[in-house]
Amino acid sequence: MTQTWHADDETLRSWAGGTAAPVLAASLEAHLLRCDECRRRMASLAPSTTASDAVRRWDALADEIDRPRTTPLTRLGLSTPGLRAAWLGAVLVLLLAPATVAAMGGRIPLVLAVAPLAPLAAVALAYRASVEPAGQLALATPSAGLRVVAARALVVALPAVPLGVGGALAFGLPLDVALGWLLPGAALAALVLLAGTTRVDPAVVAATLGSVWAVAVSWPPASRRMPAAAVVDLVASGPVQLTALAVAIGAIALTVARRDAVAYRRTA
């Protein structure tokens, strides 16, 4: 290809010496790939640039182009099969619940029964050793224990929250239903997080709490003991929401106080 411009000696020297600004360096590298003239001058201008320097420089450039990209999310373990499944599961639960409600003709408590299970499952799965990309290598690092478990649980649970709330509103469910599950969900998830500081398997606690919650919310209207609207009102009521908030804060505070136990028992 014919080049219409050539780099001056000073620019070539700064690139060879590694002092060129990043944008200029990138531009010059792209130019050098196409320009025989500049490559020749480059060789004559930069006697200090040894063959190994050049090889290293080109290797680094090739690395930048060829290497697979890793985002902070994948580093947190999202790319591992276990956590990816958890994330997809949480999103599906939160999107399908309002859709199911709409399809079933407005049996609203189903959303309240199912939606809190998403953060619950997220925390339970974050405790599984299988979601750790580095396996046991990670256990002897400063981040091992509560820090990495909590980070993973948040990675899974947080994106699901706006999807769940938005989905419920999009399907025409009332605001108190769309938001009413958040604090109970946080409370249940915090209790599972706390379970990880005990000898009890958090997955067992999650399954138990989730089942109890789902039955408690969906059984009364299903058995016609209480109208669906009354269940929604009860869950969205101030006392229930405040209780859920208190449980969530208390469980998280206890977990932080007992974080030492997470490091030794739950991620091994």
Partner 1 sequence: MTTTDTVTGALLATTGLTKRYGPLTAVDHVDLSLGRGIVGLLGPNGAGKTTLLRILATVLSPDAGDVRLLGLDPTEPKERLEIRRRIGFLPQSPRLYGGFTPLEMVDYVAILKEHTDKTWRRNEARAALEALGLGDRMHQRIRTLSGGMQQRVALAAALIGTPQLLVLDEPATGLDPEQRIALRSVLAGCADEGTVLLSTHNTAEVSALCQHVLVMDQGRICWSGAPEDLAAAAQGQVWESPHDEPTAVRSWLTGPGNRRHLGTPPEGARVVTSTLDDGYLLVTRLAR
21, 45, 51, 53, 225 from 48: Cα distances, Å: 20, 9, 9, 9, 87
Query: Among residues 31 and 259, whose Cβ is nearest to partner 1?
Result: 259
d(CA 222, CA 215): 10
Query: Among residues 31 and 84, whose Cβ is nearest to partner 1?
Result: 84
Query: Among residues 7 and 76, whose Cβ is nearest to partner 1?
Result: 76
d(CA 123, CA 247): 16
Q: How far is the CB of 90 from partner 1 (least distance, A)?
A: 21
Q: How far is the CB of 131 from partner 1 (least distance, A)?
A: 9
Record the tokens describing residue 7, joined without a space. Answer: 């780099």
Query: Among residues 79 and 211, whose Cβ is nearest to partner 1?
Result: 79
Query: Among residues 83 and 217, whose Cβ is nearest to partner 1?
Result: 83
Record the tokens describing residue 138, joined without a space. Answer: 């990670």
Query: Among residues 63 and 223, whose Cβ is nearest to partner 1?
Result: 63
Query: Among residues 3 and 136, whose Cβ is nearest to partner 1?
Result: 136
d(CA 162, CA 168): 10
Q: How far is the CB of 171 from partner 1 (least distance, A)?
A: 35
Query: 32: which residues sit within 8 A by CB, 6+ positions away?
Result: 7, 38, 39, 42
DSSP state of 172: T
Q: How far is the CB of 58 from partner 1 (least distance, A)?
A: 14
Q: How far is the CB of 84 from partner 1 (least distance, A)?
A: 10
d(CA 15, CA 39): 12
Q: How far is the CB of 193 from partner 1 (least distance, A)?
A: 17
Q: Which residues bind partner 1 (CB under 8 A)?
A: 63, 66-68, 70, 74-75, 79-80, 133-144, 148, 259-260, 263-264, 268
Q: How far is the CB of 25 from partner 1 (least distance, A)?
A: 15
5, 74, 132, 153, 156 from 81: Cα distances, Å: 50, 11, 10, 15, 13
The rounded Cα 256 to chain-centroid distance in angstroms is 20
41, 78, 186, 231 from 176: Cα distances, Å: 72, 31, 16, 12
